[in-house]
Structure 1
Amino acid sequence: MDIKTLKCHGSGNDFILIDEITNDYNFSEEDRVEITKNLCDRKMSVGADGVLFVLNSSKGHGRMRIFNADGSEPEMCGNGLRCVGRYVMELVNKKEVLIETMKTVYTVKKVENIFKGVATIEIIIDSVSFEAADLPMISHEHEVSMKKIEKLSDTLLFSAISITNPHLVAIVDEISEGQLQEVGYKANNTPEILPKGVNVNFVKVIDSQNIYVKTYERGVGLTKACGTGMTASVISAVINGKCAMNEEINIFNDGGMIKCTVCNNDKGYFVKFVGNATYQFTGNFKYTKPLPKHPIHYDYDSYKAETECYEKMFLYTREIIKKVL
């Protein structure tokens, strides 16, 4: 069976997209896990943080299933959702679509480019919960806000936030990658507190309109960016008085930047989440069992101009960061 793929990314969080709307692949669950583990291996294959399977939906214009590099399936992925949203919009020739995920349906729409030549997508994220049980997290407190979790760290203060995906957020003076790696590993190997694991985010507040976020992603490890992680982080920054409600905030990460506006209404918090959805290149492979090493044949020039535009944006964000960090 010949499989067509599209390499894409949101804020450097990269994925391999497989279209099951126009292609009748009939994958089993075992197929999805095997394909994901193989294609995401950066040493033996094209490499990615995850695979986006795009399917038909009875609730919207398309359905996203995201598998992490280790074969696990998270509830949601903000960066991946932007890529899937763009792909489905182009498929159905609309500027706004509904995309079904594991637990809810999101409105995704095309907006003004965040940078010249960089395709930009907005998502409204309203599935925000502060209940520890929604992570799930075993705690004697209903909500965990700026609290120590002794088994993870004796100095950091964590806030627990679910954006469908589970997150712990710590606001820090300086981001230590080594410390984040250590805390992230502990958080995903302490089932008596976090039975299903968790994403861990370190946030450095630059000023009231700019923050820097780095994430240890469950099932992936340290990643250039995590969409729901950046969302949880900016919510935490706003709630703790570091950034303002109803104002656009720049969120920088190792892969670039996004823009978020945290809002509140009678239903609770919601976030306008704006960032790139960049295509990198296409590829194809013949699916056999077991999959061979280096299975994909690439066309690296298929989206060369688009990739170059994002690279210019990335370099622009690095220049900004040099001045403030």
Structure 2
Amino acid sequence: MIPFVKAHACGNDFLILEEEVARRQHAALARKLCSRNTSIGADGIEFLERRPNGELFLRLFNADGSEAELSGNGTRCVAAWLASSEGRDDVVLGTHGGPRVCHVVEDADPVYLIESEMGVPRVMPRTIEVPGVGNVVGAMVNVGNPHFVIFVDGDDFTAHGLAWQVLGAQISASSLFAHGTNVEFVKIVSESEIAFRIFERGCGPTTSSGTGTCASSAAAMALRSVNRELKAVAEGGAQRTVWLANDQTMRLTGPAEIICRGEVVGL
């Protein structure tokens, strides 16, 4: 039996497993346990490694078994679990996208409000050519993992005559991105608020994304002259981003909730 914890951040849900139970079967476990019809169901698994020197390191595997650099929401879910189970209000979590510092702002167990230091975003305007669509104007954004941000005007987030889910799937798997990319469709609501939708590499449309929130906010701040503090609203709810200057770390604040813990049959 494999012990697990399930948590979500604005509906973006993750399983948390200790690294020692993975037995080098990370991808297979992700594909099996994240299945929503035949297993627990989740957007991905965060494998938590406790290193001999006391460091904590996360490996994220998406529902399709692919490995990603990190997840902002997944990292926050792990921070919430460590706060709930071990009383850690401040924690540094290593990821393949760099370390992330998490601080519990509010504790109403099982719901936690957490601020995370998300690193320094890199924003580069880019026009790409999508077969059957033509030129798509957007921005490549790196926040420890890759994103392509497209600005839209309508409430339905369509772009180039296509539903955002359809265009997002095409761009996410495009050969223009060596390792795929996450795709966000961003609407500027006001100088202090954006709304967006996310097509995530490795799992498709999701209700929220921590790194997607940061990428969308960074692109809006850098290219649309909105405020350096934003309310960013996805289908699963709102998060807050603060990016005081282009060479400073972005801070992301949002909720994470522990759903359950249990055991599941292994492979």
Moved more, 63-72 or 85-94: 85-94
> Which TM-score applies when normalising by structure 1?
0.74
**Deviation of 1:91 (Å):** 4.3
SS at match of 1:237: helix
Contact 2:89 2:103 in 1 (8 A): yes
Higher relative contact order (CA 8 A, sep 6+): 2
Map 1:42-61 onto structure 2 (within 5 A): 42-57=36-51, 61=55
Partner of 2:29: 35
Map 1:3-152 onto structure 2 (within 5 A): 3-20=2-19, 24-25=20-21, 27-29=22-24, 31-57=25-51, 61-112=55-106, 118-130=111-123, 144-145=124-125, 147-151=126-130
Distance 1:97 1:232, change over 3 A: same
Contact 1:60 1:105 in 2 (8 A): no
> Which TM-score applies when normalising by structure 2?
0.90
CA offsets 1:9-56 (integer angstroms, 9 cap, x no match): 011100111134xxx42x232x22111101111121121100111111
Contact 1:111 1:120 in 2 (8 A): yes
SS at match of 2:137: coil
Q: What RMSD, in angstroms, separates the aligned Cα atoms of the two structures?
A: 2.3
Equivalent in 176, 191, 202 of residue 158 of structure 2: 176
The amino acid that maps onto 1:251 is: A
Distance 1:162 1:60, change over 3 A: farther
CA distance in 1, matches of 2:257, 2:77: 7
CA distance in 2, matches of 1:169, 1:103: 19
CA distance in 1, matches of 2:110, 2:47: 26
The amino acid that maps onto 1:184 is: G
CA distance in 2, matches of 1:59, 1:87: 21
Higher helix share: 1
The amino acid that maps onto 2:92 is: L
Equivalent in 231, 235, 257 of residue 250 of structure 1: 231
CA distance in 2, matches of 1:173, 1:260: 21
Residue 186 in structure 1 maps to residue 200 in structure 2: no
Higher strand share: 2
The amino acid that maps onto 1:119 is: Y
Number of aligned residues: 262
**Deviation of 1:183 (Å):** 2.2
Report which of the two structures shows the higher radius of gyration computed on alpha carbons: 1
CA distance in 2, matches of 1:234, 1:196: 22
After the TM superposition, list the runs of 4 or more consecutive aligned residues in structure 1 that deviate by more than 3 angstroms: 57-61, 89-92, 115-118, 152-156
Partner of 2:145: 165
The amino acid that maps onto 2:192 is: Q
The amino acid that maps onto 1:124 is: E
Equivalent in 211, 226, 231 of residue 228 of structure 1: 211
CA distance in 2, matches of 1:14, 1:48: 5
Partner of 2:261: 282
Moved more, 163-172 or 37-46: 37-46
SS at match of 1:86: helix
Partner of 1:138: none
